[in-house]
């Protein structure tokens, strides 16, 4: 990759994002295919770490620093500084799946400027699926436009929910009960970032988590919003540093999921592109 700084524009940063997430994907896929590099340690309860996580983050951090040395970087493994222009990165989301040989994991990169997510990308190298969204310009998978599902009925809805030890089990179980009582199917696949991408492309009808870190969700929330779905106001009810509750859903079930989880929805302000897509 060219080590010279790119032009200081949003378009150039978006171009770098697409490039670096694919090159990081090559590195991650090699790690997945090599049994030794899938061996893991534990950062905490059900919190896995592999050498590939660190290698992927170092690769992404190095590329961004070389091209945009004034931008800040905030990653899951190495942390960082949050400035007015910050790249928020999960080098491998779904590490437990990765470590156990399950091809459901991804890399997630979001770029936030002055408190607003401008673009985001999620890449599953095992399936070679690249999701990308830029604010106001729609969402794509492998370059093709995607839209959220048109599901209206909860007895036809598939909802994914994530959980962690940061919230009491009883609280999660209450939400699951609410969703099941409404008739929804509730599942968990082990990658919150991919779960959000799957809402954006209609594979799932909603994703919620009562506490999620920013590196896991910012790219996915933008994807869902740009694909015509409803999302929570994450940076208002949570923060880049501390995380917060996450909800993203197809419009037909969004209000019900919000009521079941007590996670508010952001007021929707569709872009011109979204208006054209829904016309």
Which of 143, 166, 181 is a domain's end point?
143
Confidence at residue 238, expressed as pLDDT on a 0 to 100 scale: 95
Q: Are 63 and 23 within 8 A, CB to CB?
A: yes
Residue 263: which CATH number? Answer: 3.40.190.80
Confidence at residue 166, expressed as pLDDT on a 0 to 100 scale: 86
Residue 248: inside a domain: yes
Which of 80, 112, 143 is a domain's end point?
143
* 17 and 84 inside one domain: yes
* pLDDT tens, position by position, 212-248: 999 999 999 999 999 999 999 999 999 999 999 999 9
Confidence at residue 163, expressed as pLDDT on a 0 to 100 scale: 87
Residue 3: inside a domain: no
Confidence at residue 60, expressed as pLDDT on a 0 to 100 scale: 97
* 113 and 163 inside one domain: no
Residue 224: inside a domain: yes
* 156 and 139 inside one domain: no
Confidence at residue 109, expressed as pLDDT on a 0 to 100 scale: 98
Confidence at residue 37, expressed as pLDDT on a 0 to 100 scale: 53
Which of 143, 169, 190 is a domain's end point?
143
**Residue 76 marked as a ligand binder:** yes
Site of tokens 């509730």: 186
Confidence at residue 78, expressed as pLDDT on a 0 to 100 scale: 78
* 73 and 200 inside one domain: no
| Pairing between β-strand 139-141 and β-strand 129-134 as defined by DSSP bridges | antiparallel
* 190 and 170 inside one domain: yes
* 204 and 98 inside one domain: no
* 125 and 207 inside one domain: no
What token pair was written down for 237? 């009810």
Confidence at residue 6, expressed as pLDDT on a 0 to 100 scale: 77
Confidence at residue 276, expressed as pLDDT on a 0 to 100 scale: 40
* 168 and 191 inside one domain: yes
Please tell me the total count of domains within the chain: 2
pLDDT above 70 as % of the chain: 89
Whether pTM > 0.75 for this model: the answer is: yes
Work out the angle between the directed axes of helices 251-261 and 169-181 (0-180°, nearest 10): 140
Question: Is pLDDT above 80 for 3?
Answer: no
Residue 174: inside a domain: yes
**Residue 90 marked as a ligand binder:** yes
Range of the domain at 180: 152-275
Work out the angle between the directed axes of helices 214-226 and 192-200 (0-180°, nearest 10): 0
Best CA proximity match to 199, nearest among 214, 210, 187 = 187
Residue 17: which CATH number? Answer: 3.30.540.10
Best CA proximity match to 139, nearest among 197, 76, 74 = 197
* pLDDT tens, position by position, 158-179: 999 998 888 999 999 999 999 9
* 19 and 125 inside one domain: yes
* pLDDT tens, position by position, 23-66: 999 999 998 987 555 455 445 454 445 788 889 999 999 999 99
């Amino acid at each position: 990759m060219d080590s010279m700084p790119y032009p200081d524009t949003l378009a150039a940063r978006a171009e770098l994002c697409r490039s670096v997430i694919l090159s990081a994907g090559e590195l991650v896929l090699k790690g997945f295919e090599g049994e030794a590099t899938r061996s893991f340690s534990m950062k905490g309860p059900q919190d896995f770490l592999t050498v590939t996580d660190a290698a992927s983050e170092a690769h992404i951090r190095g590329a961004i620093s070389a091209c945009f040395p004034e931008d800040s970087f905030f990653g899951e493994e190495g942390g960082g500084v949050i400035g007015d222009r910050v790249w928020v990165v999960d080098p491998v989301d779904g590490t437990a799946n990765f470590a156990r040989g399950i091809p459901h994991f991804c890399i997630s990169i979001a770029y936030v400027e002055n408190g607003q997510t401008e673009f985001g990308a999620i890449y599953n190298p095992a399936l070679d699926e690249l999701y990308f969204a830029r604010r106001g310009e729609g969402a794509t998978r492998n370059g093709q436009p995607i839209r959220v599902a048109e599901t209206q009925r909860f007895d036809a809805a598939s909802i994914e929910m994530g959980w962690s030890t940061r919230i009491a089990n009883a609280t999660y179980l209450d939400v699951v009960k609410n969703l099941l009582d409404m008739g929804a199917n509730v599942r968990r696949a082990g990658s919150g970032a991919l779960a959000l991408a799957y809402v954006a492309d209609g594979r799932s009808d909603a994703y919620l988590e009562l506490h999620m870190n920013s590196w896991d969700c910012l790219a996915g929330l933008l994807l869902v919003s740009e694909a015509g779905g409803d999302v929570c106001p994450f940076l208002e009810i949570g923060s880049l540093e501390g995380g917060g509750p996450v909800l993203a859903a197809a419009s037909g079930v969004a209000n019900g999921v919000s009521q079941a989880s007590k996670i508010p929805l952001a007021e929707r302000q569709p872009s011109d592109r979204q208006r054209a897509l829904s016309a």
